[in-house]
Amino acid sequence: MRCPLSLGSLETHDHVARSLARETGLKVVSVGYRLAPEAAFPAGLDDCHAVVRWVAEEGESLAWDGITLAVAGDSSGGNFAAAVAARAHDEGFGAITHQILYYPSLDLDFDVDRYASLRENARGYGLETAGLKPFNAFYLDSGADPADPRVSPIKREDLSGLPPALVVTAEFDPLRDEGELYGRRLREAGAEATVSRYDGAGHGFVQHFSWIPEYHAVFAETRDFLRR
């Protein structure tokens, strides 16, 4: 799942999906879901959820082995992956085995300055704190309430029973602390969670592995997480 903004698309994240497939040996289904403002909340989430259901129900056509079904996304796509995993749990749909959240945007209440990383990494590292609200304006204005756990997964009160999570964060990312807090809250709720911070990295670094080779390590880490 890519970022549900104009900054991400099936095309911009194709190399990420292909690298995940090569490194993990698994099939990767990239979802081209509907975007706001043309499609109001929760259209995009509904699309992602429907695709996950389709994979589980029609997996034979994909030669799926029926064992590993992970949801994954980066940035706002990580938001969607976490929200889909939670919705599946609530509906009693137990096929999702893992959730992989790369520097996820999990708290869309941008009017509250509750994370130190929003201040420490506010400017100069690519994604800037002042841009978070404008970047998400179409989504929020379409009816996505930041207080709703479907919109801000970190606001979900009960995280127990959710699939094992790999939460990857970046040192110089305004969103770093909310991702790491989510990982801690998952563990406190009894869910398995691995939090991995990449020192020296900024938001969006997974996309940059082609020209910054050390970032390719995230795919090997994802592979190892999925095989545990």
Active site residue 13: no
Residues with Cβ within 8 Å of residue 75, at least 6 apart in sequence: 3, 8, 102, 103, 104, 105, 175, 203, 204
Catalytic residue among 19, 30, 75, 76: 75
Active site residue 75: yes
Half-sphere exposure (Cβ direction) of 42: Cα atoms closer than 13 Å: 17
Catalytic residue among 74, 107, 173, 177: 173
Residues with Cβ within 8 Å of residue 204, at least 6 apart in sequence: 74, 75, 103, 126, 127
Helix (H, G, I), strand (E, B) or coil at 82: helix
- The residue behind tokens 């997964």 is 153
Active site residue 160: no
What residues are labeled active site? 75, 173, 203
